[in-house]
Amino acid sequence: MNIDEIQESLRRFAEERDWNRFHSPKNIAMALAVEAAELLENFQWLTEEESRCLAERPEDYQAVREEIADVQVYLLRLADLLGIDLETAIRDKMRQNAEKYPVALAKGNALKYTRLGK
Amino acid sequence: MNIDEIQESLRRFAEERDWNRFHSPKNIAMALAVEAAELLENFQWLTEEESRCLAERPEDYQAVREEIADVQVYLLRLADLLGIDLETAIRDKMRQNAEKYPVALAKGNALKYTRLGK
Amino acid sequence: MNIDEIQESLRRFAEERDWNRFHSPKNIAMALAVEAAELLENFQWLTEEESRCLAERPEDYQAVREEIADVQVYLLRLADLLGIDLETAIRDKMRQNAEKYPVALAKGNALKYTRLGK
Amino acid sequence: MNIDEIQESLRRFAEERDWNRFHSPKNIAMALAVEAAELLENFQWLTEEESRCLAERPEDYQAVREEIADVQVYLLRLADLLGIDLETAIRDKMRQNAEKYPVALAKGNALKYTRLGK
């Protein structure tokens, strides 16, 4: 994914519409949380099993695909507004996670999963 | 960003810890919404102006950087679990947005912004 | 529940701490969404079945009880700030729901459940 | 607010529609988070000042009133499913908050506000 190019395109999109004054990081973080909840909404009455077979429900699958894109768009926008390099941030986080959840302790344990994270 | 490589690495991370049975799309969508709210939490008592100058608060800035990474990690994981190509999904969405919010109508109008989206 | 008395007490709590300038409805709605996600976090790696037996996990049960209280506190505060009578608002909504989801159509159908709501 | 009566009415509503199998605490916590985000959505492009004057926008005001009711309905349902007494839970929490945020420390300080909460 060419992050720079997409962020540049989103920046231009906001400028052309005179939306920068609405695009404070605070507001974009709100918009992102709202989109994450819209994504969640598609799963709320499905069983976990049904969610694993989402592709069998083409309408839901398409809706989820669009909500995933919405979350990604706001995330790219927020990182851009704050001058955060998304790829480096992820790699740093994955390194932290590897230390925080050592295989020996975390293996197959959902509760430890959550608790170790604190 | 090399999405395939990161997704492959996240997949291995879950497998090694025997976490795949917890990683239904339903559960990952929940985890993503939780992380989006943790990101939001950092902005809740800041003014919009303060949020635009977040870099002046190094501790908050670092916290936001980590939460952004958490959201991105779960988003990549979810797209992978569902077999959704993230980059194509974003590009499709950006095309839709350009049609939904024509410059002439959307210019500088926050309310139309929201309302046009419905 | 004596709503007026609790709201009066929350109002005094904010005034004594000089927090009214942080308590715009926008900010309280953010805080409420953050608390709702903290509540959700307690369920994210549980199966639905485990969530039905939450009382068997005293630590999680207590955490959920506190998060439920946090959500309720912000909801009462928001309704108070906006001059919305919570009880009337609920009763109006329940009447709407009864019309929107007639027993004959909604019976046992999770998908219709969601779709009827749109 | 007569909590028992409303909860009894919500219980009957779910039973008549055969929705209890969808109403695991996990799913209701998801639905609650989704409604909290829909509430938030109404504030996302408003300034804090505009949010304080929401009553001047009758359409938004009515939408917020309905979303507040939706959050309250799911909160009552969740408390009922888990056998949590909502009023006692709030009163316990308010007592905790009074200890956690002593007036002398918390006065007018948004950052301490957040940080004290950790």
Whole-number average pLDDT of chain B = 93
Q: Do D34 and A45 touch (CB under 8 A)?
A: no
For C55, the closest of D83, D90, D108 (CB atoms) is D83
B45 and C33 in contact by Cβ < 8 A? Answer: no
Chain B residues touching residue A19 (CB < 8 angstroms): 106, 108, 110, 113
Which residue in D11, D35, D33, D34 sits closest to D23, CA to CA?
Answer: D11
* Cβ atoms D113, C21 nearer than 8 A: no
The alpha carbon of residue A118 is apart from the nearest alpha carbon of chain C, in Å, by: 12
Residue B118 binned pLDDT confidence (cut-offs 50, 70, 90): very low
Cross-chain residue pair B17–A51, CB shorter than 8 Å:
no
Query: ipTM for the complex?
Result: 0.93
> In whole angstroms, how far apart are CA D74 and each of A118, C67, D10, D28, D118?
27, 14, 9, 7, 27
Q: CB–CB of A27/B113 below 8 Å? A: no
The predicted pLDDT at position A113 comes to 57
- Residue B110: is its pLDDT beyond 70? no
Lowest mean per-residue pLDDT among C68-77, C103-112, D22-31: C103-112
Q: Do the Cβ atoms of D38 and D70 come closer than 8 Å?
A: yes
CB B35, CB B77: distance < 8 Å = no
Confidence of residue C69 (pLDDT cuts 50, 70, 90): very high
Q: Could you tell me where the DSSP H helices lie in D17-109?
A: 25-41, 48-52, 58-82, 86-100, 103-106
Q: Is the pLDDT of residue C116 over 70?
A: no
**How far from C35 is each of C52, D90, D104, CA to CA, in Å?**
21, 14, 25
d(CA C36, CA D71): 9
> For B57-108, how does the pLDDT look when each residue is reduced to its tens digit (9 = 90+)?
999 999 999 999 999 999 999 999 999 999 999 999 999 999 999 998 888 7
Single-letter amino acid, residue C78: L
How many Å apart are CA D40 and CA D8, to the nearest integer?
A: 28
pLDDT(D31) > 80: yes
Expressed in angstroms, the distance from the first to the final Cα of chain B is 32
Taking contacts as CB-CB distances below 8 angstroms, the residues of chain A near B37 are 33, 36
Count of alpha carbons within 13 Å of B9, Cβ hemisphere only?
Answer: 15
pLDDT digits (tens, 9 = 90+) for C43-59: 999 999 999 999 999 99
Q: Assess whether pLDDT exceeds 80 at residue B115.
A: no
Q: pLDDT > 70: what percent of chain B?
A: 92
What is the C-alpha R_g of chain B?
18
Q: C111 vs A45: CB contact, 8 Å cut-off?
A: yes
Banded model confidence at residue C108, pLDDT cuts 50, 70, 90: confident
Residue-level pLDDT at B111: 58
Do B110 and D45 count as a contact with CB atoms less than 8 A apart? yes
List chain A residues with CB under 8 Å of C47: 48
Q: Check pLDDT > 80 for residue C27.
A: yes
Q: Please report which residue ranges of chain A form alpha helices under DSSP H.
A: 3-16, 25-41, 48-52, 58-82, 86-100, 103-106, 110-116
Residues in chain D whose beta carbon is closer than 8 A to a beta carbon of chain B?
A: 30, 33, 37, 41, 44-48, 110-111, 113-114
Collect all residues of chain B within an 8 Å Cβ-Cβ radius of residue C45. 22, 27
Neighbouring subunits of D (3+ Cβ pairs under 8 A): A, B, C
